[in-house]
């Protein structure tokens, strides 16, 4: 049995991300992915049994990476708002630097490709975000609204800012970042 090479998995993931950003999730095939990755289609099938398995694995990996990065430098012992800003800024930076992943995750989120098992794993990975918002609610700093709704608002605002920045080819200024954070904070605060 041939051992799997982590570098090839990364090549496959990067190829899939590029293709999804260019052609859309439904528009890509395993052949497209293998060509983009520079590997034989047969080799691709050594790593993934099909497109559905690859998409689910990449989605789970993308979600795990983004959560890990989001909480870098976050200290639960610091006051809520600066901690929230740390997480918010980490998410913004990650999304700006990994735009193809943003497009991929957004397309996957509501697609039939993602299995119930992968969706459950994504929900489990999102637990730190729920805990963060619930902490703000317990400290009476964040509105007492459905946590999922508040997170949808936050992520939606971030996604739109990133897309606007990417597609306009503009540099995101500190002023615009601060303004967007303050708008988000003002909408969330109790």
- What per-residue confidence (pLDDT) applies to 1? 46
Q: Which CATH superfamily is domain 52-188 in?
A: Tetracycline Repressor, domain 2 (1.10.357.10)
Domain 1-47 architecture: Orthogonal Bundle (1.10)
Tens digit of each residue's pLDDT (9 = 90 or more) over 127-142 = 999 999 999 999 999 9
pLDDT tens by residue, 32-69: 999 999 999 999 999 999 999 999 999 999 999 888 89
d(CA 176, CA 173): 5
CA–CA gap between residue 189 and residue 51 (Å, rounded): 42
Domain with CATH 1.10.10.60 in the chain: 1-47
pLDDT band per the 50, 70, 90 thresholds, residue 6: confident
Among 3-12, 47-56, 77-86, 131-140, the range scoring the smallest mean pLDDT is: 3-12
Residue 136, token pair as written in the block: 């703000």
- Which ranges in the chain are annotated with CATH 1.10.357.10? 52-188
């Amino acid at each position: 049995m041939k051992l799997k090479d982590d570098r090839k998995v990364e090549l496959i993931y990067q190829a899939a991300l590029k293709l999804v950003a260019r052609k859309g999730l439904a528009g890509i095939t395993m052949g497209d992915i293998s060509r983009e990755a520079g590997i034989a289609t047969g080799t691709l099938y050594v790593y993934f049994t099909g497109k559905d398995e690859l998409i689910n694995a990449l989605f789970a990996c993308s979600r795990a990476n983004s959560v890990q990065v989001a909480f870098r430098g976050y200290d639960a012992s610091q006051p809520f708002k600066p901690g929230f800003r740390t997480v918010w800024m980490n998410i913004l930076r990650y999304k700006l630097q990994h735009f193809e992943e943003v497009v991929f995750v957004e397309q996957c989120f509501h697609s039939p490709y993602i299995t119930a098992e992968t969706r459950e794993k994504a929900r489990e990975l999102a637990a730190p975000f729920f805990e963060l918002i619930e902490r703000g609610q317990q400290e009476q700093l964040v509105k007492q609204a459905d946590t999922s709704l508040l997170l949808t608002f936050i992520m939606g605002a971030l996604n739109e800012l990133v897309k606007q920045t990417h597609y306009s080819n503009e540099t995101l200024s500190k002023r615009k970042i601060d303004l967007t954070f303050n708008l988000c904070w003002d909408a969330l605060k109790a």
